[in-house]
């Protein structure tokens, strides 16, 4: 597949950087204590420091900045972090927001979104059900729909992370990007490959319900069954009508790597015990790829800690080495050992 004409280019990603300036840009980029174990400098981009706890604020702010002055409000569907971002960005602009999500979303995320002033609608058991509701609201109430990933403004916003990393680390040889709907990976790859065509970019996700990986392999959008995962922010489909993120990811990602729940569990522990940081399962798939040996770094490597909006009871269990019951799937725990 080829990068479609409607994909944002470097100019649009630089414009997005301007649009979000002072609100969601310039997160810390820090060396990881895991560098020694990996044998190469490992850099962590701390999107966990965003005011909403996740990188999605970049895309939401940029997409909402592009709306005309007389828009009635905004709506979206979300597994959590996109909804939070849209609620926050709408509130910052004084706009009404309605966030639609499925029953699989953890209650902690639902409450966080309500606290940001959004109306919440819980619909069905999949991202697709939630999506149908936000499309209805767009049609019937004239709200502007802010898609979670398959949108040029959202992709350009997420792409600003790629700009910041590549500009800060000219010596970088490998970029590891958590992959779900692919807005993050598409944006970062468009930015990074425009500046550094030789840079290797790997998308990483869990091995259960990985819709983008299956779709890239099939060459068209493929629906997969949604299952609970430690990386719950990586769940959900890519949309049957996916127009941008699938072809961009297929064209620009050098590889897609799948991780087991146990590998994600261990990487969450490693980040906590070595770097003394807490991040969602979705955030640590880059670290999991390196620690599992599924990805090999031959030079400086960077990954994005994408978010930290998780169930802290689950985090406590993981750090104590206990099993985690994901509802039908039990992740076997073990105390942390390097």
Binding site for ligand PLP (CB under 6 A): 54, 56, 81, 149, 178-185, 233-234, 280, 282-283, 306-307
C-beta of 71 vs 224, nearer to ligand PLP: 224
Residue nearest to ligand PLP (CB): 307
User: Smallest distance, Å, CB 90 to ligand PLP?
Assistant: 17
183-195 and 152-168 helices cross at what angle (nearest 10)? 50
User: Smallest distance, Å, CB 196 to ligand PLP?
Assistant: 21
User: Smallest distance, Å, CB 280 to ligand PLP?
Assistant: 5
Q: How far is CA 23 from the centre of its chain?
A: 18
Cβ contacts of 338 within 8 Å, gap of 6 or more: 37, 270, 274
User: Smallest distance, Å, CB 336 to ligand PLP?
Assistant: 22
The CA distance from 181 to 90, in Å, is: 22
| Geometric angle at alpha carbon 246, from 14 and 238, rounded to 5° | 105
User: Smallest distance, Å, CB 294 to ligand PLP?
Assistant: 18
Which two tokens mark 273? 């015990």
Cβ contacts of 62 within 8 Å, gap of 6 or more: 16, 19, 20, 153, 154, 156, 157, 160
C-beta of 41 vs 203, nearer to ligand PLP: 203
C-beta of 41 vs 183, nearer to ligand PLP: 183
C-beta of 25 vs 280, nearer to ligand PLP: 280
Regarding beta strands 324-325 and 301-305, do their DSSP bridges make them parallel or antiparallel, or are they unpaired? unpaired
C-beta of 153 vs 183, nearer to ligand PLP: 183
């Amino acid at each position: 597949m080829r990068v479609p004409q409607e994909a944002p280019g470097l100019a649009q990603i630089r414009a997005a950087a301007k649009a979000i300036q002072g609100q969601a840009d310039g997160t810390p980029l820090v060396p990881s204590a895991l560098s020694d174990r990996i044998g190469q400098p490992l850099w962590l981009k701390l999107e966990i420091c965003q005011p909403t706890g996740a990188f999605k604020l970049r895309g939401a702010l940029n997409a909402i900045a592009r709306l005309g002055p007389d828009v009635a409000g905004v709506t979206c569907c979300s597994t959590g972090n996109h909804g939070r971002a849209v609620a926050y960005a709408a509130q910052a602009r004084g706009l009404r927001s309605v966030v639609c999500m499925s029953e699989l979303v953890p209650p902690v995320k639902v409450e966080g979104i309500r606290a940001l002033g959004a109306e919440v609608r819980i619909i069905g058991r999949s991202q697709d059900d939630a999506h149908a509701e936000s499309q209805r609201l767009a049609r019937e109430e004239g709200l502007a729909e802010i898609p979670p990933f398959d949108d040029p403004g959202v992709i350009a916003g997420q792409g600003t992370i790629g700009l910041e990393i590549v500009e800060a680390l000219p010596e970088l040889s490998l970029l590891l990007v958590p992959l779900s709907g692919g807005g993050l990976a598409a944006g970062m790859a468009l930015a990074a490959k425009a500046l550094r065509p030789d840079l290797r970019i790997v998308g990483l996700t869990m091995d259960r319900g990985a819709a983008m990986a299956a779709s890239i392999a099939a060459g068209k959008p493929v629906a997969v069954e949604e299952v609970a995962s430690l990386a719950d922010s990586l769940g959900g489909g890519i949309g049957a009508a996916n127009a941008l993120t699938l072809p961009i990811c297929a064209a620009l990602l050098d590889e897609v790597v799948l991780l087991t729940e146990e590998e994600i569990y261990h990487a969450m522990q490693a980040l906590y015990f070595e770097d003394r940081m807490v991040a969602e399962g979705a955030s640590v798939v880059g670290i999991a790829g390196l620690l599992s040996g599924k990805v090999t770094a031959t030079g400086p490597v960077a990954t994005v800690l994408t978010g930290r909006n998780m169930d802290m009871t689950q985090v406590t269990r993981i750090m104590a080495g206990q099993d985690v019951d994901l509802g039908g799937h039990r992740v076997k725990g073990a105390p942390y050992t390097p």
